[in-house]
A = this chain, B = another copy of it.
Amino acid sequence: MTRLDLPKSFERARLLVTPVLAAASAELEPTLRRVVEYHWGWIDAHGERAESRPGKALRPALTILSTEAVGGEAEAALAGAAAVELVHDFTLLHDDVMDDDRERRGRPAAWTCFGVGPAICGGDALMLLAQQVLLGDSSDHRIEALSALLGATQTVIAGQGLDLAFEGRVDISVDDYLDMSGKKTGALLGCAASIGAILAGGRKEQVDSLRGFGESLGLAFQAVDDWLGIWGDPARVGKPRASDLRQRKASLPIVTAMTSDAPAGRALRDWMRSDAVVDDEAIERGIGHLESLGTEEATVALAQQQLGRALECLERGALDSHSGDELARLARFVVEREF
């Protein structure tokens, strides 16, 4: 396991985008603003200032680098960077309600503090704020950027719809899974990695290459997340061992295993559709099934394959070489941080 240093582009993105987010949330109705700023870790459940662990600002970092990759200045990316982060936060607020997830970034999820209604409303408000921030930008290309953001957000919602439809099913193919994951995770990373180039007036082939880079990175990123959901270190992931197995969540390794006709595949399908008690013994047995079918290696291989595709897209993009290198470093960090 290699430990990579957090690329500086994350921290820079966080510093640049935070004032834009703060100005945006200040426009919200006060009870919804509280939900949103709690979700961001800026305040605690009582409204007091908090210093919680922030998210990584992966999406804003991609957006800023995508502007620079076509010769623009970081400032030209800020509305786009804020917009993709706001859309991401909208999805988190809603997904935690839909998936009954009670924790987020090591704290109670917003809906458990403020209720389902305020969390849904807060998410709705963020999705709109994303569009308002972008429409308020001064770029000549803001409408093209808005159109890309709307399309990507609609795709993310379709992906979440598919994910919900997969619940309880044991007959999902790996292709079905990758289609869902490409929509749910890839589309927004593709948008994040290209909307900055759109705003800065990048050429079509640059924008397309950057979008392809982000989409492949998204699939890789989700595969890593799915690997962490089984084999991640509980202390670092902040969740119990093999949490996806515990929740009977059809993640990539589990879907892969369920497509197998070997006894371990059949056993896993039976477990996934049963309501047998989830105890440590069942979890260890489930991990054994997954490992005997080679799904850990398959998951890592898929992440590496998609990382490779992402890096190829960068090569093809005729991008500024320094920014291209930074995007490649960031992609490697995201995918290889745990392996």
Contact = CB atoms under 8 A, between A and B. Distances in A.
Given A128-B150, A129-B154, A132-B150, A31 B120 contact: no
B94 A157 contact: no
Each complex incorporates copies of this chain amounting to 2
Given A131-B150, A132-B154, A150-B131, A29 B161 contact: yes
A165 B34 CA distance: 12
With a 10 A CB-CB cut-off, give which of A31, A159, A160 has the most chain B CB atoms: A160
A29 B180 CA distance: 11
A162 interface: yes
A328 interface: no
Interface stretch (A110-118, A262-270, A286-294): A110-118
A115 B163 CA distance: 13
A122 B160 CA distance: 10
Contact of A120 (B27, B32, B94): B94
A116 to B, nearest CB: 7
A164 B128 contact: no
Interface in A164-203: 164-165
A128 B157 contact: yes
A127 interface: yes
Count class of interface residues, chain A: 35 or more
Nearest to A153: B128
B118 A161 contact: yes
Contact of A98 (B116, B128, B158): B116
A151 B136 CA distance: 12
A260 interface: no
Contacts of A44: none
A97 interface: yes
A147 interface: yes
Contacts of A315: none
15 contacts: A28-B158, A31-B162, A32-B157, A32-B158, A94-B124, A98-B116, A98-B117, A115-B164, A117-B160, A117-B164, A121-B160, A125-B158, A128-B154, A132-B150, A132-B151
Given A29-B158, A31-B161, A121-B164, 17 more contacts: A27-B154, A29-B161, A94-B121, A94-B124, A97-B116, A98-B117, A99-B117, A115-B164, A124-B157, A128-B150, A128-B153, A128-B157, A129-B154, A131-B131, A132-B151, A135-B150, A143-B143
